[in-house]
Amino acid sequence: MNYLEEYKKWCESDEFDEETKNELLKIKDDEKEIEDRFYKELEFGTAGLRGIIGAGTNRMNIYTVGKATQGLANYILKRGTQDKGVAISYDSRHMSPEFSELTALILNANGIKAYVFEELRPVPELSYAVRELGCTAGVMITASHNKPAYNGYKVYWDDGSQIIAPVDKDITSEVKAITDYKMIKKMNKDEAKEKGLFNLIGKEIDDKYINELKNRVLNPEIVKKQGENIKVVYTPLHGAGGETAKRILKEIGIKNLYVVPEQEFPDGDFPTVDYPNPEAKEAFKMALDLAKKVDADVVLANDPDADRLGIYAKDSRSGEYKDFTGNMSALLIAEYRISQMKEKGILPENGMFISTVVSSNLAKAIAKEYNLDFREVLTGFKNIGEQIKIEEQKENGKKYVFGFEESYGCLIGDYARDKDGISAVMSLCEAACFYREQGITLWDQMINIYEKYGYYKETQVAIVLEGASGAEKIKQMMENMRNNLPEKIGNYKVLEFKDIKLDVVKNMVTGEISKTGLPTSNVLYYELENDAWCCVRPSGTEPKIKLYMGVKADTNEKAEMDLEKLKEAMKDLVK
């Protein structure tokens, strides 16, 4: 069936409600819009769905969400784990409450219990709830930091981590097997409640999650003391993190918390930002204005589902607010927590520090300093969660201490299995109190870390190539780089080359060939001399080829200069 026939079916069939039909009739003269909505089905990928909200097969709506949920239900039923139930949460995006309830009722119609948060909650609390309630799966309705037109559907498995192989592929197969929307089972909410299938959750899980975080504060007395003095500006960027972040900071003793009033409450339009992403400097404009007004020490921003955190902190020498990359903020937390755990004698002897192939090499230096086993995984926090699970299942497995990825996300403990922007808020405020006790700011401490380990600097470049021709160009770029190994990139000798798709590691000095030991992924990694590196991969969700790189130098100025040169060399290499 072509896109025009599919459009006609949606406009005429009794499978679809009148509101959907009316929306589609409004575009009857716009063939380009019809084509975009119907030329394909919204793909259920390795973690679920993400797309623009609207009517059509290539949109997020009650039918595409229903299809995904029926596929998930069929998989759970085949596994025989339906009695464990599924935890469901959502963020502040348009249609999030509706998609959340719809997901629950379709599961209920299949005889599967649902535990639904009574109001929006952050991703990390959903991950925690899956584990705490002993659920077989979890669903988070969110499009993370995408623009307001989007929503999404993320699936978690029983360990609280986003689904990985082979579960992801098996669920995808079940979703694809739903070839007719009439195959989606339905149930009335009152009937579901009466049968004990539809269950609301909230305060009890909130309290347990908050207490879990509070128990991980390493210096509570210092926080209470300096919490009287330190000033924190925070924004949830109209998302799900606001109430939870405010609560945890209040309960650990932060007295001077200033929440950006225009961004405090949930709003799916995200009216004060073009892009609700704490990685974007523009998202901090209102928070920084407030910080200057109240003379804040720390400025923090979560994304809409509160798994990521961006930060600015004051430089005591210049008085300016300095922004931290995702690598910097995570490694500041890591150095603080790991050093304090060691000092207090609670750092596990068989501790494990996990990072990703595109994150800072400073992580390796910190792991080495504290004698932690360092693990490097592919991008995606689910791969960090997988390593935790693997070690948990061993009789004397490694104990998880810390994990992070460069995209502004970390996890301070094994109570959840996804990035936790709420615990990052707590940890950075705790660290700010600790270092204030020593007369320095978080930025001053970041400089101290660089002075201790070396100035590690990282950046990335995304080259956008849209359409079929762009996809072909990206494919050619990857193959050209795969088949033409350079001896040098910029001023750096290539020491080792990893082709993760082909599971090949080549030592460029000895010529020795070995295996990566990583799951197959279209990623090329170059280990360079002097602790520099670079990496290339196509984006899995956007028409981009992404270049990542990092360097190490003795001074900040030298590191920034070297990084700029390496960036230009990488851009030349992929041409």
Nearest to 232 by CA among 256, 210, 216, 251: 256
Burial class of residue 461 in the structure, from the number of CB atoms within 10 Å of its CB (0-12 exposed, 13-18 middle, 19+ buried): middle
Which residues are bridge partners to 377 per DSSP? Answer: 356
Q: How many CA atoms lie within 13 A of 371 on its CB side?
A: 6
Q: Which of 330, 303, 310, 326 is nearest to 402 (CA)?
A: 330
Cα distance between residue 205 and residue 294, in whole Å: 34
Three-class secondary structure of residue 106 per DSSP: helix
Task: Give the active site residues.
Answer: 144
Q: What is the pLDDT of residue 541?
A: 65
Cβ neighbours of residue 349 under 8 Å, at least 6 residues apart?
none
Residue-wise DSSP of 340-358: HHHHTT-S-TTEEEEEETT
Return the amino acid letter for 140.
M
Locate the DSSP E strands across 23-157: 48-52, 86-90, 114-117, 137-141, 150-157
Instruction: List, in sequence order, every beta strand (DSSP E) within 64-126.
Output: 86-90, 114-117
* Neighbouring-strand partners of residue 534: 526, 549
Nearest to 117 by CA among 83, 92, 143: 92
The full set of domains in the chain, from first to last, is: 40-201 (3.40.120.10), 209-322 (3.40.120.10), 456-574 (3.30.310.50)
- State the pLDDT at residue 31: 92
Instruction: Tell me the CB-side half-sphere exposure of residue 197, using CA atoms within 13 A.
Output: 21
Distance spanning both ends of the chain, measured CA to CA: 39
List, in order, residues 6 or more apart from 438 with CB less than 8 Å away: none
Full pLDDT tens readout for the chain, 575 residues: 799 999 999 999 999 999 999 999 999 999 999 999 999 999 888 779 999 999 999 999 999 999 999 999 999 999 999 999 999 999 999 999 999 999 999 999 999 999 999 999 999 999 999 999 999 999 999 999 899 999 999 999 999 999 998 999 999 999 999 999 999 999 999 999 999 999 999 899 999 999 999 999 999 999 999 999 999 999 999 999 999 999 999 999 999 999 999 999 999 999 999 889 999 999 999 999 999 999 999 999 999 999 999 999 999 889 999 999 999 999 999 999 999 999 999 999 999 999 999 999 999 999 999 999 999 999 999 999 999 999 999 999 999 999 999 999 999 999 999 999 999 999 999 999 999 999 999 999 999 999 999 999 999 999 998 877 888 899 999 999 999 999 999 999 999 999 999 999 999 999 999 999 999 999 999 999 999 999 999 987 678 999 999 999 999 999 999 999 999 999 999 88
Task: Give strand pairing partners of 373.
Answer: 352
For 297, counting Cβ atoms within 10 Å of its Cβ (0-12 exposed, 13-18 middle, 19+ buried), the class is: buried
- Tell the residue number behind the tokens 């989606």, with chain if given: 184
Tell me if 309 sits within 8 A of 301, measured CB to CB.
yes
Phi, psi (5° rounding) for residue 30? -115, 85
Taking the model in full, what pTM does it have? 0.95
Question: Rounded CA gap, 252 and 229, in Å?
Answer: 14
Three-state DSSP at 263 gives: helix
d(C-alpha 130, C-alpha 158), whole Å: 6
Select from 168, 73, 153, 154 the least CA-distant residue to 113: 73
By three-state DSSP, how is residue 152 classified? strand
Q: Are the C-beta atoms of 343 and 418 separated by less than 8 Å?
A: no
User: How far is it, in rounded angstroms, from Cα 507 to Cα 320?
Assistant: 44
**Tokens found for residue 4:** 């025009």
CB count within 10 Å of CB 295 equals 10
Instruction: Give Cα 499 distance to the centre of its chain.
Output: 24
Residues near 442 by Cβ (< 8 Å), separated by ≥ 6?
A: 297, 298, 311, 313, 332, 428, 431, 432, 435
Q: What are phi and psi of 202, to 5 degrees?
A: -175, -95
Beta bridge partners of 290: none
Report how far residue 242's alpha carbon sits from residue 121's, in angstroms, rounded to the nearest whole number: 9
Cβ contact 333:218 at 8 Å: no
Helix (H, G, I), strand (E, B) or coil at 550: strand
- Other CB atoms closer than 10 Å to residue 206's CB: what's the count? 19
Residue with tokens 């060691």: 342
In whole angstroms, give the CA distance from residue 446 to residue 328: 8
Measure the CA–CA gap between 151 and 51, rounded to whole angstroms: 6
Task: Show the DSSP H helices in 215-262 as ranges.
Answer: 220-226, 242-252
Residue type, position 169, single letter: K
pLDDT at 467: 76
